[in-house]
Amino acid sequence: MNRPLIYGNTPTFLHASSVAKDLAQAANYHATIYGVPWEGAVTWGAYTGCELGPKVIRQCSERYSGYLPELDDIDVLSHYSLADAGDVSTIPADVPATMETIQSFASSLWASGTFPVGLGGDHGITYPVVRALGETTGKKIGIIHIDAHFDNNDESMGDEFGRGSPFARMYEYEQVRNESLVHLGIHGPRNKAVNGRSAKEAGAVTITIDKIRSAPDLKAFAKEVYDIAADGTDEVYLSICSDILDYAYNPGGPADANGLHPEQLLTLIHEFGSYGVCGMDFVEVYPQQDQNDFSSHFVTLAILYVLAGRLKKEGKA
């Protein structure tokens, strides 16, 4: 089998072409996947190892085609070309330098005009990616942040760029419009009251999981959410944390019950894709605690649903 590899004998994501040697080539592809094998401070409990996410997600992706019969028979890969840009190089003992490397890497992708898809790594990677978008384009940014948790602590164990803090940094970043930053799906007592207050003070919009569940029409609801993020901004970025899913569907992550079911998350992000997002990431996949790699398999599905949404927007599906 003559399959494309990204490094070692790890396949590229979903049979993509490798552009790891020259990021500028990403300009020739509709979408470009890249990995950020990064874990800063370890979260509570024995949940660790999310720097393995990019590799295991790619290994799992090899099983799949781009065909989604349930979405009007669309075959994403017959319309879209994919590139894989490899992984950002990280320096575990030097957080600021790593953040800069991520930003610089992401800037290349933003500049190329491709649709960038980041594979975490912990949630700390999202801030430099968004910052790269702001610095490269000068645009005003809205964010749809799908997660069980606010991730807006002032710092995480002393680290301003830690996994629990990216949205505190976003609040401070002038090119993010806080009123267009939506924390979507928030639930559960791993949050603290101060997190809710911080979001409110920053002007960000919190939509808890109960609001999603009580929506009579999930697609119409998705439109309302999107409109908040798009209001007053030039671009909408999408960031998904694995723990928005109930632990049954995300067994490797910290045990967060009472989350979304896969079909709910997929419906939401497919709609967001169809209204237009400029890039996305999927973070906090932990292969080490996930004996059948369920979370890693899910990521391919999530990315395909967003891309299928983009195709719908372009009138191809």
- Please report the DSSP string for 20-74 in residue order: TT-GGGGGGSSEEEEEE----SPPSSS---GGGHHHHHHHHHTT--SEETTTTTE
220 C-beta neighbours (distance < 10 Å), count: 10
Do the annotations mark residue 123 as ligand-binding? yes
Query: Which position among 123, 187, 310, 312 is part of the footprint of a second copy (CB under 8 A)?
Result: 187
51 versus 235: smaller Cβ distance to a second copy = 51
- Taking CB under 8 A as the binding criterion, the range among 67-75, 130-138, 236-244, 272-280 that sits at the site for a second copy is 67-75
95 versus 141: smaller Cβ distance to a second copy = 95
Query: Which position among 4, 81, 92, 172 is part of the footprint of a second copy (CB under 8 A)?
Result: 92
96 versus 232: smaller Cβ distance to a second copy = 96
- Taking CB under 8 A as the binding criterion, the range among 132-140, 191-199, 235-243, 271-279 that sits at the site for a second copy is 191-199
Please say whether the beta carbons of 204 and 178 come within 8 A: yes
Query: Which position among 2, 3, 8, 138 is part of the footprint of a second copy (CB under 8 A)?
Result: 8
Residue 32 is which amino acid?
T
Do the annotations mark residue 278 as ligand-binding? no
Burial class (CB in 10 A: 0-12, 13-18, 19+), 301: middle
x/- letters, 239..258, toward a second copy (CB under 8 A): -------xxxx-x--xxxxx
141 versus 280: smaller Cβ distance to a second copy = 280
Do the annotations mark residue 234 as ligand-binding? no
What are the C-alpha distances in Å from 190 to residues 16, 147, 203, 258?
Answer: 37, 12, 22, 12
x/- letters, 28..57, toward a second copy (CB under 8 A): -------x-x-xxxx-xxx-xx-xx--xx-
239 versus 242: smaller Cβ distance to a second copy = 242
Query: Which position among 90, 112, 153, 178 is part of the footprint of a second copy (CB under 8 A)?
Result: 90
What minimum distance in Å lies between the beta carbon of 259 and a second copy? 8
Is residue 64 involved in binding a second copy (CB under 8 A)? yes
Q: Footprint of a second copy on residues 99-128 (CB under 8 A)?
A: none
Is residue 220 involved in binding a second copy (CB under 8 A)? no
Q: Footprint of a second copy on residues 200-219 (CB under 8 A)?
A: 206, 208-210, 213
Number of residues that bind a second copy (CB under 8 A): 91
Cα-trace Rg, the chain:
18
Is residue 162 involved in binding a second copy (CB under 8 A)? yes
Q: What would the two tokens of residue 189 be?
A: 């007592």
Pairing of strands 82-87, 17-18: parallel
What minimum distance in Å lies between the beta carbon of 255 and a second copy? 4
For 73: left if phi > 0, alpha if psi spans -120 to 50, otherwise beta; the answer is: left
Do the annotations mark residue 149 as ligand-binding? yes
Distance, in Å, from the CA atom of 35 to the CA atom of 254, rounded to the nearest integer, reads 21
Q: Which residues contact 178 (CB under 8 A, 6 or more apart)?
A: 170, 171, 202, 203, 204
What are the C-alpha distances in Å from 142 to residues 6, 35, 145, 235, 277?
Answer: 32, 23, 10, 6, 9
Do the annotations mark residue 147 as ligand-binding? yes
Q: What would the two tokens of residue 202 be?
A: 């920053």
Do the annotations mark residue 30 as ligand-binding? no
Known binding-site residue numbers for Mn(2+): 123, 147, 149, 151, 241, 243
